[in-house]
Structure 1
């Protein structure tokens, strides 16, 4: 019966010696040690088999030992070697290749030395065998590396398929009511009471779509190292207030009871208000998604041992033990079949971990088990108070004053996008012209002399960057407001827009209030 397979050694170059007598074994062992080669004596064939299975660089035998009982166990060990392995065997035989015992043994990767052999000959043969063994180890490592790469690719492919399926599902969720709402609006008469509710519903679903897209872009920025934190000294109580404002609709939808515990004193950290509020809101939204209607969610803040500690605890479905270490992994979801789960791409908690890590903090999850709620803890390094004990209130933006109608050029190869923006601008009394390509836009600008240009960047042929560059080269458009409209919103994209001559860079879809605020500057 074959011995159980042992774990393969990393690299073993010890030479197993199976000699006819103890004296022969001792002489051979000293000879190898003198040449800096590790050797070990096999007392019998069973012991030699164990040594080979544990890891060996070569095996030295003699024609007389090949006739000893038990050789079969070593031959079996040699036959059961993995595909990459072919242990070198050196046989010292009085009759060379004609030794009868050698023919019967049917050994592979065999080097036969005439016996007696000089010390130099034996050492040289062993060194050659060990060089060959090292090549085998390299082949093994390459095979393992390729197998690991294949496993990683298969896992990545599987996760990609799961993510795309989830993405399709999550995009359809808001798209379905948007499409139904638009069909209803087309059928309802003007002034119907239901129109306002339908418009509000469409607006909510559009906001959900934008959140999904923003999460995807955020992951891309973090993974490529393009996310830059806008750090400031801030009180984490302000972060809590900002985060809970954005979570209010989801909490209200589920009828959750929210308990907030904040210290009287300020808890100062050096951080990005937007990113920290985003992290906390993701934790609260996650709690709301996985807590039955009418459940309780608690948010608490305090300072301990040089750290600011934010805790979000819920009375929801809890976490199984196997998810505690994986819940912050990309695309991880506790259980797609749970009724309370409201879906998502499985990247919200991964974003939290990445954003908190960028702040030098950490986040962890705890849960007694399924049905017993969850507890998420965010820890951030405390910072000293700013020179002034109270934070300076940010100035409120001045109300946008209505201005006289402006001449505006809208450029976008997507006709629906261009026409819809033009209609909105026209409702404000502005004179609007639409073009769908770069050359036509330049010709229209020369005729219209617009005071503002909203231009798509990714157009075929002449793109938006070239349009902006050419307009800036014309003295007539030196002070014209040039606004880039694009789906690309990284810092590098914004830098490129500025370099081309754009004054502003807006990611699609741009809010009407923001567009009107820009026009107020003209």
Structure 2
């Protein structure tokens, strides 16, 4: 955490400059109504961004203290994936499903599982906005593997090993870049794991392996 603290502190300051500028201009009282509405939109957007960053940092702290997942219960994989898809912004097209989720249940924290799969789907869409990702579900002996596959640029093999161990340098959601690290922590807290591989499509494949109920 210490090696990233300076960068995280810098990123948290990012929304402050437009907020201060908007407040200064609004305080002048000499702006036309259209310009005032634009500045109010800036304040709203940057406030929501700052709130998302703070939540992300709070989740990261909880993950380090093994407090990220605090409740467990039967979760329907179909429902979890459906809720995750609904949480992905600008999801104009549904992903292609390979395999079925019928009767697959996981002993887990439903909101955290939704967060994890939402992060993986958002990451896939950011890598290839022109195409919907592929979701492949494979039952295992005592678990299930859900693969999120995109057709984005070929991943750097050296970067794959640390994809879930370090902040993303330029996250698509304008957050702190901790989302994939949190997704990996959520999988581990459910006795599962995330693995990243080059996909047959030329893009990236992230495998989420979880034990079944």
TM over 0.5: yes
- Alignment deviations for residues 26-48 of structure 1 (CA, whole Å, 9 cap, x no partner): xxxxxxxxxxxxxxxxxxxxxxx
Measured at CA, do residues 266 and 167 of structure 1 come closer, stay the same or move farther in structure 2, by a change above 3 Å?
Answer: farther
Q: Give the CA deviation at 1:258.
A: 4.2
Q: 1:374 aligns to what? A: 204
Asked if 2 retains the 8 angstrom alpha-carbon contact of 1:243 and 1:281, the reply is yes
Q: Give the CA deviation at 1:229.
A: 2.3
- Alignment deviations for residues 319-368 of structure 1 (CA, whole Å, 9 cap, x no partner): 2111221111133x3xx4x8x96664342222111111111111110115
Q: Hey, what's the Cα distance between the residues in 2 that align with 1:239 and 1:198? A: 37
Q: 1:178 aligns to what? A: 19
Asked if 1 retains the 8 angstrom alpha-carbon contact of 2:68 and 2:186, the reply is no
Q: 1:410 aligns to what? A: none
Q: Give the CA deviation at 1:279.
A: 0.9
Q: Hey, what's the Cα distance between the residues in 2 that align with 1:230 and 1:351? A: 17
Q: Are 2:35 and 1:218 aligned? A: no
Q: Are 2:31 and 1:188 aligned? A: yes
Asked if 2 retains the 8 angstrom alpha-carbon contact of 1:231 and 1:272, the reply is yes
Q: 1:275 aligns to what? A: 112
Q: 1:164 aligns to what? A: 6
Q: 1:362 aligns to what? A: 193
Name which of 55, 64, 76 aligns with 1:235.
Answer: 76
Asked if 2 retains the 8 angstrom alpha-carbon contact of 1:319 and 1:367, the reply is yes
Name which of 201, 207, 215 aligns with 2:48.
Answer: 207
Q: Are 2:153 and 1:317 aligned? A: yes
Q: Hey, what's the Cα distance between the residues in 2 that align with 1:314 and 1:260? A: 11
Q: Counterparts of 1:45-444 in structure 2 under 5 Å? A: 159-160=3-4, 163-168=5-10, 170-186=11-27, 187-189=30-32, 192-193=33-34, 195-196=36-37, 198-249=39-90, 251=91, 257-261=93-97, 263=100, 265-291=102-128, 293-331=129-167, 333=168, 336=169, 344-367=175-198, 372-383=202-213
Q: Counterparts of 1:502-521 in structure 2 under 5 Å? A: none
Q: Hey, what's the Cα distance between the residues in 1 that align with 2:135 and 2:39? A: 33
Measured at CA, do residues 342 and 351 of structure 1 come closer, stay the same or move farther in structure 2, by a change above 3 Å?
Answer: closer
Measured at CA, do residues 382 and 321 of structure 1 come closer, stay the same or move farther in structure 2, by a change above 3 Å?
Answer: same
Q: Give the CA deviation at 1:207.
A: 2.1
Q: Hey, what's the Cα distance between the residues in 2 that align with 1:199 and 1:364? A: 42
Measured at CA, do residues 294 and 265 of structure 1 come closer, stay the same or move farther in structure 2, by a change above 3 Å?
Answer: same
Measured at CA, do residues 202 and 304 of structure 1 come closer, stay the same or move farther in structure 2, by a change above 3 Å?
Answer: farther
Asked if 1 retains the 8 angstrom alpha-carbon contact of 2:78 and 2:102, the reply is no
Root-mean-square deviation (Å)? 3.1
Q: Hey, what's the Cα distance between the residues in 2 that align with 1:310 and 1:195? A: 47
Asked if 2 retains the 8 angstrom alpha-carbon contact of 1:229 and 1:271, the reply is no
Q: 1:505 aligns to what? A: none
Q: Give the CA deviation at 1:175.
A: 2.9
Q: Hey, what's the Cα distance between the residues in 1 that align with 2:189 and 2:24? A: 45
Measured at CA, do residues 194 and 328 of structure 1 come closer, stay the same or move farther in structure 2, by a change above 3 Å?
Answer: same
Q: 1:425 aligns to what? A: none
Asked if 2 retains the 8 angstrom alpha-carbon contact of 1:366 and 1:375, the reply is yes
Paired residues in the alignment total 210
Bigger relative contact order (CA 8 A; separation at least 6):
2
Unmatched runs of 5 consecutive residues or more in structure 1 = 1-155, 384-522
- Alignment deviations for residues 32-73 of structure 1 (CA, whole Å, 9 cap, x no partner): xxxxxxxxxxxxxxxxxxxxxxxxxxxxxxxxxxxxxxxxxx
Q: Give the CA deviation at 1:378.
A: 0.8
Q: Secondary structure at the match of 1:296?
A: coil
Q: Hey, what's the Cα distance between the residues in 2 that align with 1:355 and 1:268? A: 17
Q: Hey, what's the Cα distance between the residues in 2 that align with 1:209 and 1:295? A: 29
Q: Secondary structure at the match of 1:217?
A: helix
Q: Hey, what's the Cα distance between the residues in 1 that align with 2:101 and 2:164? A: 31
Q: Hey, what's the Cα distance between the residues in 1 that align with 2:116 and 2:145? A: 13
